[in-house]
Chain A
Amino acid sequence: MVNFAFKLMLRDLRSGDILTLLMALIISVSTVTTISLFIDRLQLSFEQESANLLAADRLIRSDEEIPKNWQFKAKEMSLKQAKRTSFGTMIFSGDALQLSQLSAVTDTYPLKGAYLVDDTLFARGQPSKQPPKKGEVWLSSRLASLLNVRIGDQVEVGESQLTVAKYLVRDPGSSSSAFAISPRAVMNIKDLPSTKVIIPGSRVRYSLLLAGEPSDLENFESWVVPELNEGQRWRTPVEKGERIGDTIVKAESFLLLAGILAVVMSGIAMALASTRFVKRHLVQVAVLKTLGATPKVLIKVFSIQFVILFFIGALLGLFVGWGGQGVISSLLSGLMSTSLPEPSVGRLWLGIVTGLISMVAFCMPMMLRLIKISPMSVLQPSRKIEKNSLAVYSIGFIGIYGLMCIYTKGFLLPSIMTLAMLAIGILVSIVGWLVFKLGRSLTSGATSGWQIGFASLYRRLLPNLFQLLVFTLIIMLGLVLVGVKSSLVSEWQDQLPVDAPNHYLFNVQKDQIEQINASTENLRVLRSDWYPMVRGRVISVNGKSIQTLYPEGKGEPELYERELNLTWSHSLGKGNKLLSGDFSADGLSIEQRVAKAANLSLGDTLTLNIGGNIVSLPITSVRSVDWSSMQPNFYLILPKRVLDGYSANFVSSLFISNTNAQPFYKSMSQHPTVSILNVGDILKQIQTIIGQLSEAIQLVLLCILIAGALVLIASVRSTLEERLEEGALLRVLGAKKALIQQSLVVEFGALGLFSGLIAAAGAEACVYALQVFIFKSQASWHPLLWALGPLIGISIITAIGLFASRIVLKVPPMHLLRDF
């Protein structure tokens, strides 16, 4: 039987039907493979970049010492480890002393990324993978200036003397605490015991940094996370809510979406190919039945053929997919600053499963239908195949939906996509029916291309509605990607313009402002407004003390757990948006995320301890804050009258270009008490990642659009035979070539126009839903989609339609008639 099935398939191969199915399968497997492998490589690359910001692949942060057995376990799981112990302490040099943020690290620190250190004060720094040696300390330029020490001098940390070996420009693991007020220092952890600075009750943050294979990290994560207590946190490089995390999560969602669309398109391609296969095999199966082929035999024959087809298709698809992602990556390598990590073979399963589900969901039901055909149809051709296509397509849809869920590891995105497609399906059916009917009645008769075109649209109503749906879906999918891409990229670009502030100045006294303003103006440096900053702590909410509300600090929201920087302002700052209440009212303005975390709303009263004075104020407005705007931002803004009496420090952010960095640092050395925080390197990394993402997204989009065009061609080809027959018939009846050409232009043009218009509407709705529910960004209107939709529809579908049916105009009608 295998032999017979194989022989039959080989013979079928000549007719091109099996080839169409094979091509659809190869397109299906290779598109999904290309995209999933490429996305995988990108994700790995983002993780590596963000791991540089964390100094590790994963990190455990703890308020108490990390249990030894965790370290043993990590070692057992072959993970690389480093430890960092951070705490605030006084550093002395002769008479000078300064409260500093000191980190003691092991020799293995950092596991990812590098320190930036320099031998010159306030310089830009050179990368160093090694931490300070035993007996050495690295001080930030500001700390060295405050202590008045230079390289080679000794400083005292607790009971130890350490030698200043470098000026610290950036600590790779410190980005998350960019607003730490105290200047930084780093020492080797081996010196920590002799300093005796850590005593019971000291506020110390212990970190265990880990790096290794993703699977080992996952194993360790699932082992350690249940062990974590209240004061311990498991951190990954990409975390929601963080600036870079948000960007990457959005990009990943986009790429995932692109992947889903690839899956949907593969499904459409398979559905089209199998419909064509069934159509062309109706007579074959009926004849085989009259020759004595039993349903069992036919099931065996087709199953064997499909299995063989699946293996060949999946193998070739994987091969093409692997090559495809290689081509994309090498195209991209010129644009990306870092080389992409190698793709993991483990991701190939997705392509294989896509192929398998497409085969099972689309080909199997079709095959079963085919086998059910009555052998009587060879005698009575009017007895066609049983009409259960809705059920058959639903199996396909369920298969595709399942595939999307597997792919996204969730239901939300696939559900939005499926609902949108269903809505589009209904819309297409109604609009299509109305338009075709109207078109037909407006152009009755059969003497012009318009009339013939509309007549054939109406005559083949069902196949044309199906084709309209396919065109609409593909154009819509493309437009959704264009819409999401353009809004994401512009959002990112808005987020981080080239001249986004890259330095913060704080601890500035009122009398220093004028001088600093003068020097920044001299250097033509862009600077934000000055914001006064007063420290204060929330001590009670609506009359209930924080201790009563959160005994022992359990579950305490961030707003209450530490001293806050408070400010006043007459107007909403850049990146702030009023969500509710009145900003000018005599009360507190609170940032929405912290308000939500602390379960606060308008009207709640907070009592603050500001420099020993107790102040109670109601919340009178809630703001959203764009934390990625790199502007000084505050959780709480108070009325000016409340903070007026306190001596405030001022904060501002500014953009220092490479050319004016040196003179700027030099001018700032006159103000050693002013803290300068350089976030330029972090910003640069973020901008690099965003740049990579935008390029990657464009390439993935291109990939999807090419796949879409292939599906369009397949779709046109699926109705080609009828068109050929009709064209030939018209020629026989004396129609001129121009008339047939015109009727084809009308037919495809109308299909293109309507699918483009409906697709634009669907894409707008889809992009809106995606922006609101998935990307959590602001919804916006996309005129581009409304222009692109009909334009692409008319031009591409007419072009593809005419190209695919050019044979109608060229081949002599006799030849065509003999073929049928």
Chain B
Amino acid sequence: MAIRTAIKVSNLTHTVTANTGDLTILKGINIEIKEGESVAIVGSSGSGKSTLLGLLAGLDVNTSGEIVLYGQAFSNLDEEKRAIIRGEYVGFIFQSFHLLPSLQAIENVMLPAELKGDKDARKKAELLLDKVGLSHRLTHYPNQLSGGEQQRVAIARAFASSPKILFADEPTGNLDELNGKIIIKQLFELNKSQGTTLIMVTHDNELAKKCDRHMVMSEGSLVEK
């Protein structure tokens, strides 16, 4: 059976308006990522990695070119429809975790499933938190957890909606080496067991090497290594 294309990007350009005039952040990018692949995008600060990640996930609308996610083009969709696609296909892990401070760990993980109206949200969340080794921390609030623990909750949350593509923005950027390693291990394990496509932005070359594909972002252009 042929492997499906998860994301196809053709001639993607993105320009923003700054005080000094228009600034082109992404210049004609073309990529195709197959289902189940893991892709690392590395590059220096301000090279446009996060912008690319946001556009790929449909968080923003590109200026020109096309992004097709599982056969659906983002470019012409409004926020409402893009959100529906995100809910269906996409999971996220952020550098600064972005757990909701007013919710307990378990409630944070339940959120995506609850949004979909899933009645088994709690059960799933418990299972996922168990997998990341936090079954003893279910009712803790984010400010009662260490950075590493918070990111593990974030990983559990990202997998809670059983996404087809997982976007990770510097997932170890705010963590020490030991915690970073634990996170990466859990991330790849879950990714493998769930057959998720992983697209990760990172500074960490070691981490990038663990991925199937390795791309470098430089001055708005993307080069595969």
Contacts and interface: CB of A to CB of B under 8 A. Distances in A.
Interface of A: 1, 4, 7, 11-12, 14-15, 17, 283-284, 286-297, 374-376, 378-380, 818-819
Contact of A17 (B84, B102, B107, B117): B102
Contacts of B79: 289, 294-295
B203 interface: no
B35 interface: no
A298 to B, nearest CB: 9
Contacts of A296: 80
A332 to B, nearest CB: 43
5 contacts: A288-B115, A291-B157, A293-B87, A376-B54, A380-B54
Interface in B111-147: 111-112, 114-117, 143
A286 B79 CA distance: 12
A813 to B, nearest CB: 15
A380 B115 CA distance: 24
B116 A292 contact: yes
Given A291-B161, A292-B83, A292-B88, A14 B98 contact: no
B83 A379 contact: no
User: What 4 A-B pairs are tightest by C-beta distance, nearest first?
Assistant: A292-B87, A15-B102, A294-B83, A375-B59
Nearest to A4: B114
A379 B114 contact: no
Contacts of B10: none
Given A288-B115, A296-B80, A378-B98, 7 more contacts: A11-B107, A15-B101, A289-B59, A291-B161, A293-B87, A380-B51, A818-B143
Contacts of A297: 83, 115
Contacts of A15: 101-102
Contacts of A12: 102
Given A291-B161, A376-B59, A379-B53, A11 B84 contact: no
A290 B111 CA distance: 11
Contacts of B94: 378-379
Contacts of B157: 291
Contacts of B101: 15
A273 to B, nearest CB: 16
Contact of B111 (A286, A291, A374, A379): A291
Nearest to B101: A15
Contacts of A374: 59-60
Contacts of A11: 102-104, 107
Interface of B: 50-51, 53-54, 57, 59-60, 79-81, 83-84, 86-88, 90, 92, 94, 98, 100-104, 107, 111-112, 114-117, 143, 157, 161, 169
Contacts of B98: 283, 286-287, 378
Nearest to A380: B50
A79 B59 CA distance: 70
Contact of A287 (B88, B90, B100, B116): B100
Contacts of A17: 102
Chain B, interface SS category? helix
B90 A288 contact: no
Contacts of A7: 114
A interface majority secondary structure: helix
B53, B83, B104, B157: most-surrounded residue (chain A CB, <10 A): B83
B60 A294 contact: no
A290 B102 contact: no
A15 B161 CA distance: 25
Nearest to B103: A11
A295 B50 CA distance: 23
Contact of A14 (B60, B102, B116): B102
Given A290-B90, A290-B92, A291-B87, A376 B60 contact: yes
Given A379-B50, A379-B94, A379-B169, A295 B100 contact: no
Nearest to A301: B115
A195 B67 CA distance: 106
Nearest to A818: B143
Contacts of A287: 98, 100
Contacts of B80: 294-296
Contacts of A293: 83, 87, 115
B148 to A, nearest CB: 14
A753 B116 CA distance: 53
Contacts of B92: 290-291, 378
B50 A291 contact: no
B112 A292 contact: yes
Nearest to B49: A379
A818 B54 CA distance: 27
For A15, A379, A380, which residue has the most chain B Cβ atoms within 10 angstroms?
Answer: A379
Contacts of B86: 289-292, 375
A290 B115 contact: no
B100 A290 contact: no
Contacts of A819: 143
Contacts of A295: 79-80, 83
Interface centre among A295, A375, A819 (most CB of B within 10 A): A375
B86, B90, B102 pick with most chain A CB within 10 angstroms: B102
A11 to B, nearest CB: 5
A818 B141 CA distance: 12
Contact of B54 (A291, A292, A294, A379): A379
Contacts of A288: 111, 115
Given A287-B98, A295-B80, A379 B59 contact: yes
A291 B100 contact: no
B161 A292 contact: yes
Interface centre among A283, A286, A290, A375 (most CB of B within 10 A): A290
Nearest to B146: A818
Contact of B112 (A14, A291, A818): A291
Nearest to A374: B60
A294 B87 contact: yes
A591 B80 CA distance: 73
A290 B88 contact: no
A296 B87 CA distance: 13
A556 to B, nearest CB: 73
B102 A289 contact: no
Contacts of A286: 98
Contacts of A294: 79-81, 83-84, 87
B83 A289 contact: yes
Interface core residue of B54, B84, B90 (most chain A CB under 10 Å): B54
| Listed residue (B84, B100, B112) with the most chain A CB atoms within 10 angstroms of its CB | B100
A290 B103 contact: no
A521 B159 CA distance: 102
